[in-house]
Structure 1
């Protein structure tokens, strides 16, 4: 068992017999009251956010999670199929484990998958991806001074907001954490 002060953002712990990942972690010391830790955690199995206050003397169980690189292969119903680059073993990961960014996955993309024993608990995409715009409304010529955005469908099927000067066939860079347009790729 470890002290609650030993955890940090991204740590996996066991909370109420459930595996959770720490999303936010803050040490607070209000005026004349005792200090406490405000911790926001995401349940790995259900994806729900849980928030709790811990006393500094409380203990928690830190769970060791192994992280490895996997290559995305294809979608198989509700599951996504990934391959280990070293052993060539294939694993099936539920789409809910990937979360909202499942539609940003491109074939042969390398991602980091965290495993608790043989169960995948989280999938981390690269911070940015380069994709081609498959559909967007044509922009108005000369309207590049404003920060106006329009929706665009990219090759993975996701919809991203892009500036007016982006056209069909352009390659763009997208931030996978915020799903925002970053730049055009030449």
Structure 2
């Protein structure tokens, strides 16, 4: 594994420290009046999700872990388990809802996702930035509501509930961001 010095640590780096694998969530370079400078880091354990804060001096060296990213296709959902197929080897794996998080509500059969692995153990599933889905139910517009920039609740074909502009109706197709479910645009189908 490549080495990294304390002052070269950046947000998103994956490090091996104290026998565990951590993702750097926040960094703050501190230069006190007395003593040497150090990097204050917030770390999240990639396996159990626990967090810790550590200080690394500039001359300290750490092991930087390289994660392997592979493209997978979403196949189906069985309760809180999601099945994916490797697009190169056609091997199938299942991952739990906790690995995907909130974006799981936007998964559609056939969607291509990126899965990060550490020593063949899946750590993270990344969906495309946006997804276009059909609106299966949209609240009716209240008279006078269109005068303001208000949004109304709608349900998408995956069962996800999102907020959409008043002009969106049942049967329309909309594009939403998978990270937070925010409305992007109405699509023509």
> Is the TM value for this pair above 0.5?
yes
Structure 2 residue aligned with 1:157, among 153, 156, 159?
Answer: 159
C-alpha contact 1:29 1:36 (8 A) present in aligned 2: yes
Residue matched to 1:181: 183
Which residue, out of 4, 7, 28, partners 1:5? 7
Q: 1:123 offset after TM fit, Å?
A: 0.8
Confirm whether residue 38 of structure 1 aligns to residue 36 of structure 2: no
Matched, 1:88 2:103: no
Output one character per residue of 1:132-164: Cα deviation in whole Å (capped at 9) or x when no partner. Answer: 111221123664342212221111111111122
Alignment: residue pair count: 185
CA, structure 1 residues 74+182, in 2 after alignment: closer, same or farther (shift >3 Å)?
same
C-alpha separation in 2, matches of 1:25 and 1:183: 35
Q: Which has the larger radius of gyration?
A: 2
Provide structure 1 residue ranges, at least 5 long, that are not aligned to the other structure: none
Name structure 2 gaps, 5 residues minimum: none
Q: 1:114, CA displacement in angstroms?
A: 0.5
105-114 or 144-153, which deviates more: 144-153
Q: Is the 8 A contact 1:72 1:111 kept in 2?
A: yes
TM-score by length of 2: 0.86
Residue of structure 2 in register with 1:75 after alignment: 77
Across the aligned residues of Structure 1 and Structure 2, the Cα RMSD in angstroms comes to 2.1
Q: Tell me by how many angstroms 1:20 deviates.
A: 2.2
Question: Which one of 106, 109, 120 corresponds to residue 107 of structure 1?
Answer: 109
Please give the alpha-carbon distance, in whole angstroms, between the structure 2 residues aligned to 1:133 and 1:116: 38
CA distance in 1: counterparts of 2:128 and 2:167, whole angstroms: 26
Q: Contact 1:45–1:97 (CA<8 Å) still a contact in 2?
A: no
Give the whole-Å Cα distance in 2 for the aligned partners of 1:49 and 1:162: 35
- How do 1:118-157 and structure 2 match up within 5 A? 118-140=120-142, 143-157=145-159
Structure 2 distance, partners of 1:18, 1:151, is 43
**Aligned mates of 2:163, 2:122 — CA distance in 1:** 31
Q: Quote the offset at 1:49 in angstroms.
A: 4.1
2:6–2:38 contact (8 Å) kept in structure 1: no
Deviation at 1:25, TM superposition (A): 2.9
TM-score normalised by structure 1 residue count: 0.87
